[in-house]
Amino acid sequence: MSDHGDYAPESPVLSQSEGEYDERPHNGLYIDMAPFGLEKIWDYEPGGHHVVHLGDHLGREAEYRVIHKLGSGGFANVWLCQVLRNDIPHYVAVKILMADYSNDDCPELRVERLRAVVLEKHICLPFDQFRIEGPNGSHLCFVYPVAGPRVSLIAQKFEDPDRSLRKMARQATEVMAALHSHGICHGDFTPSNILLKVAGLDGLPEDQVLKILGDPVKVEVFTESGETPSDPTAPRYLVRPVEFRNVPLPYIIDEILVIDFGESYDVTNPPEELGIPESYRPPELLLENAPGFGCDLWALGCTLFEIRTGRKLFDMFDDDVDSHLFHMVRMLGPLPEPWWSTTWQRRKEFFKDEMDSLGRAVMVDALSKEQPEEMTEHQSIEWALRRGLHYWDLGPGEEFGREIPPDEVQQLADLLENILQYEPSRRLTVAEALEHEWFRLDGN
Q: What is the DSSP letter of 30?
A: E
- Is 95 known as a binding-site position? yes
Q: What is d(CA 107, CA 55) in angstroms, rounded to the nearest whole number?
A: 29
Pairing state of beta strands 147-150 and 184-185? unpaired
How many CB atoms lie under 10 A from the CB of residue 157? 20
Q: In this structure, are residues 354 and 382 in contact, taking their beta carbons and an 8 Å threshold?
A: no
For 163, counting Cβ atoms within 10 Å of its Cβ (0-12 exposed, 13-18 middle, 19+ buried), the class is middle
Using DSSP, state whether 60 is helix, strand or coil.
Answer: coil
Q: In this structure, are residues 407 and 438 in contact, taking their beta carbons and an 8 Å threshold?
A: no
Q: In this structure, are residues 80 and 68 in contact, taking their beta carbons and an 8 Å threshold?
A: yes
Closest CA relative to residue 172, chosen from 274, 309, 311, 304:
304
Using DSSP, state whether 408 is helix, strand or coil.
Answer: helix
Q: What is d(CA 234, CA 45) in angstroms, rounded to the nearest whole number?
A: 7
Closest CA relative to residue 361, chosen from 374, 373, 347:
347
Closest CA relative to residue 281, chosen from 266, 271, 270, 292:
292
Q: What is d(CA 198, CA 256) in angstroms, rounded to the nearest whole number?
A: 9
Q: Where are the alpha helices (DSSP H) in 121-230?
A: 161-181, 206-213
**CA 30 to chain CA centroid, nearest Å:** 28
Q: In this structure, are residues 13 and 192 in contact, taking their beta carbons and an 8 Å threshold?
A: yes
Residues 6 or more apart from 195 whose CB is under 8 A from it? 7, 8, 124, 147, 148, 149, 150, 151, 256, 257, 259
Please name the amino acid found at residue 207: D
Q: Is the peptide bond before 250 cis (omega within 30 degrees of 0)?
A: yes
**CA 295 to chain CA centroid, nearest Å:** 16
Using DSSP, state whether 280 is helix, strand or coil.
Answer: helix
Q: In this structure, are residues 302 and 280 in contact, taking their beta carbons and an 8 Å threshold?
A: yes
Q: What residues form the annotated binding site for ATP?
A: 95
Q: What residues form the annotated binding site?
A: 95
